A and B are shown apart, each in its own frame.
Chain A
Amino acid sequence: MSARRPLLRLEDVTKVYHMGDVDVHALRGVSLEVHEGESIAIMGASGSGKSTLMNIIGCLDRPTTGRYLLADEEVSSLDRNELAEKRNRTLGFVFQNFNLLARTSATENVELPLLYAGLRTRERHELARAALTRVGLGDRLHHHPNQMSGGQQQRVAIARALVANPKVILADEPTGNLDSVTSVEVMAIFQQLCDSGITVVLVTHEPDIARYAARVVMMKDGKVQSDQRQPPQRAAVKPTELASGGA
């Protein structure tokens, strides 16, 4: 693990949206370094700029000024195609509302990133099955989203995020639509991924969830207000137990 060189490095990043005649300054100079294997929670009230920061880290958006280096590569000047490739190879997303494709099996949902990476059908199947097994859904490979609970759907989404073996997983309010017990289960999975060397970036407004991260960044008015490290609380449930327990 090359802990000395940061995996994510933002240098004085600003983001300005033009809403008609008004310029909205969503980010006003954010500098941040995240190392490989870190778990970090970005917190803040709505309008604090945490979602914008998330979008820029996730290569869904480009900074107006400043630099963003992802794994030593400048990405702030990449075009749409190159950004898509970064998202495909280096990043994985987990959303609040799961964002699974309806009427599509868990396996096919998880295969989606591999499809755009150009993998063959057999490889896709194998990797998707492995990822689903890893999040404890090895027995629900062919279930459709509407046949699964919220927690199971979010685990499918996590499997989709990690199937292409990314360096960073970005989770935007991953527990926002889940009850507290299921939330802990999902956080346990994130902690397990983090233990295996994947960098996890959480965006949340719930302090209870932020406790599971080793580092908490508070955003306010488009700036980093505080950046603190903490001993993370361990999520009690192990994903291996989830597989049999269901939810």
Chain B
Amino acid sequence: MNPLQTLRVASRALLRNKMRSFLTTLGIIIGVSAVIAMVAIGEGAKAQVAAQFASMGSNLLVVLPGTTTLGGQRGGYGSMMTLTWDDLRAVRSELPTVKYAAAQLSSGAQLMSEDQNWSTRVFGTTPEYFLIRNWATALGSPMSDSDTEGGTKIVLLGQTVATQLFGANANPVGQLVRIRNIPFEVKGVLESKGQSSWGQDYDDVAFIPLKTFQTKIQGGLQQFISGQIYVGATSEADTAKAQQQITSLLRDRHRIGPGQEDDFSIRNLTELANAQEESLKTITTLLAGVAAVALLVGGIGIMNIMLVSVTERTREIGVRMAVGAKPRNILAQFLVEALTLAIAGGFLGIVFGLAGGQLLAARFHWPMLMRPDIIAISVVFSALVGIVFGLYPARKASLLDPIEALRFE
């Protein structure tokens, strides 16, 4: 008897009990679709987090000035200005792992176009900043070195600000915007960065040259940086090293002895991204684990039904043996029946899993990412479940004594 004939005999036996076959398969369908949907959603979330952190800037470190402690009352970051412009220059020029460094000063301000106004945050910075944050202009041209050196009154608008002031799809390049009543020319509109996972709108910003910010907004040059230093490391792998080097350089420059606390702090966004991705991976694994248990339960369901089926069809097995079926023919038939149930369940599970994942994703606005290897693994795994849980009933059937089987009532 060739495999094709065995398959035909097995599928005919399954089709004779359509409802039972379907219900048996249901366990596998639910298990596989759960695995598929859970992994797809988990992977989607992971990809979204990765994309968000990538949009914040690659290999990004943020150096924040220290905190004050006044009579036991501790201020937040930046409450004491400890970072100097010389610190910035040193970080930029002395450290091999640092590719870019730029100051970011900020202030809340009301922006006015001819007929609209909008309150947002205005940042003063240098062109390097946009390289660190991997942020290109969508319209107009980017900030140039001559803008920072000359202290020109130009502004780059984030998408949200541009839309609020000039309407959607308008081109505000060349138009005038008043910031604190000082007219600025719109030099460009930045590409959209979207929202952070905690809902902060990256595009609700405006950028002006650092020197302009210092003279027009802040009111005079200062020795200390009243903001943060953004640092771009040479590579993702170097961010941790850059963090160490910046720490020791600044400690050295600020003459902080061993055992004393830093008067600044450094945020490593790559590390943050990794941590978040790691926790998402844990959740995905957990969900997939629960789903795998469902699949296992489905396998036990198959075994259960196959055992019932063997008992119920004892006489059939006897007849088949009497007319010349060898033990291995019987073994093959029942194994193929279990396998067919499992694989059919696997394929249906993939269909339902993908559909269910899409549905959940659409309903809750979750991102979804389907990994083909997970589909392949699910099919292989459900086939394995079929073999493992089908083997015992099939073996039991093949070991029946034909005389006993024929006499079975």
Task: Fill in one digit per residue for B315-349: 1 if any A CB lies within 8 Å of its CB, else 0.
Answer: 11011111111111100000000000000000000
B residues within 8 A CB of A61?
403
CA distance A33 to B355 in the complex (A): 70
Q: Is A118 an interface residue (CB 8 A)?
A: yes
> Do the beta carbons of A93 and B322 come within 8 Å of each other?
yes
> Do the beta carbons of A87 and B324 come within 8 Å of each other?
yes
CA distance A115 to B319 in the complex (A): 13
Residue of B nearest to A161 (CB): B323
Residue of A nearest to B327 (CB): A80
B residues within 8 A CB of A93?
322-323
From B12, B316, B326, give the contact of A84 (CB < 8 A).
Answer: B326
CA distance A203 to B153 in the complex (A): 114
Q: Using A60-B403, A89-B324, A99-B406 as known contacts, list a sample of 16 further A-B pairs with CB atoms less than 8 Å apart, ordered by residue number in A.
A: A55-B403, A58-B322, A60-B322, A80-B326, A81-B327, A84-B321, A87-B324, A95-B406, A99-B318, A100-B319, A104-B12, A112-B323, A113-B323, A115-B5, A116-B325, A116-B326
CA distance A122 to B5 in the complex (A): 13
User: Closest CB-CB distance, A17 to chain B, in whole Å?
Assistant: 11
B residues within 8 A CB of A95?
406
User: Closest CB-CB distance, A72 to chain B, in whole Å?
Assistant: 20
Residue of B nearest to A108 (CB): B12
With contact pairs A99-B318, A116-B1 given, residues A88 and B323 touching in the complex (Cβ less than 8 Å):
yes
In chain A, positions 50-85 with a C-beta closer than 8 Å to chain B are: 55, 58, 60-61, 80-81, 84-85
> B residues bordering A, Cβ < 8 Å?
1-2, 5, 9, 12, 16, 315-316, 318-329, 402-403, 406
In chain A, positions 150-172 with a C-beta closer than 8 Å to chain B are: 160, 164
The 10 closest A-B pairs by CB, nearest first: A88-B324, A113-B323, A116-B324, A84-B326, A99-B319, A81-B326, A93-B322, A116-B325, A87-B324, A60-B402
User: Closest CB-CB distance, A97 to chain B, in whole Å?
Assistant: 9
CA distance A92 to B16 in the complex (A): 26
> Do the beta carbons of B324 and A85 come within 8 Å of each other?
yes
6 A-B residue contacts at CB 8 Å?
A: A80-B326, A84-B325, A84-B326, A87-B322, A116-B320, A117-B324
Q: Is A247 an interface residue (CB 8 A)?
A: no
> Do the beta carbons of B326 and A85 come within 8 Å of each other?
yes
> Do the beta carbons of A84 and B2 come within 8 Å of each other?
no
Q: Is A5 an interface residue (CB 8 A)?
A: no
Residue of B nearest to A95 (CB): B406
Residue of A nearest to B325 (CB): A116
> Do the beta carbons of A160 and B323 come within 8 Å of each other?
yes
> Do the beta carbons of B403 and A87 come within 8 Å of each other?
no
Residue of A nearest to B328 (CB): A81
Q: Is A103 an interface residue (CB 8 A)?
A: yes
Q: Is A24 an interface residue (CB 8 A)?
A: no
> A residues bordering B, Cβ < 8 Å?
55, 58, 60-61, 80-81, 84-85, 87-89, 92-93, 95, 99-101, 103-104, 112-113, 115-118, 160, 164
CA distance A112 to B329 in the complex (A): 12
CA distance A160 to B16 in the complex (A): 21
From B318, B323, B403, give the contact of A116 (CB < 8 A).
Answer: B323
> Do the beta carbons of A84 and B406 come within 8 Å of each other?
no
Residue from B322, B324, B327, B402 having most chain A Cβ neighbours under 10 A: B324
User: Closest CB-CB distance, B180 to chain A, in whole Å?
Assistant: 88
A residues within 8 A CB of B327?
80-81, 84
A residues within 8 A CB of B318?
99
Residue from B2, B9, B319, B406 having most chain A Cβ neighbours under 10 A: B319
> Do the beta carbons of A112 and B403 come within 8 Å of each other?
no
Residue of B nearest to A163 (CB): B323
Residue of A nearest to B319 (CB): A99
Residue of B nearest to A118 (CB): B1
CA distance A50 to B394 in the complex (A): 32
Residue from A60, A84, A112, A117 having most chain B Cβ neighbours under 10 A: A84
With contact pairs A55-B403, A60-B403, A101-B316 given, residues A116 and B322 touching in the complex (Cβ less than 8 Å):
no
A residues within 8 A CB of B16?
103-104
With contact pairs A80-B326, A84-B326 given, residues A112 and B406 touching in the complex (Cβ less than 8 Å):
no
Residue of B nearest to A172 (CB): B406
A residues within 8 A CB of B1?
115-116, 118
B residues within 8 A CB of A85?
324, 326
CA distance A61 to B402 in the complex (A): 9
CA distance A106 to B151 in the complex (A): 98
User: Closest CB-CB distance, B248 to chain A, in whole Å?
Assistant: 79
B residues within 8 A CB of A103?
16
CA distance A67 to B45 in the complex (A): 75
From A81, A89, A118, A164, give the contact of B2 (CB < 8 A).
Answer: A118
> Do the beta carbons of B9 and A115 come within 8 Å of each other?
yes
User: Closest CB-CB distance, A70 to chain B, in whole Å?
Assistant: 14
CA distance A160 to B2 in the complex (A): 21
A residues within 8 A CB of B319?
99-101, 112
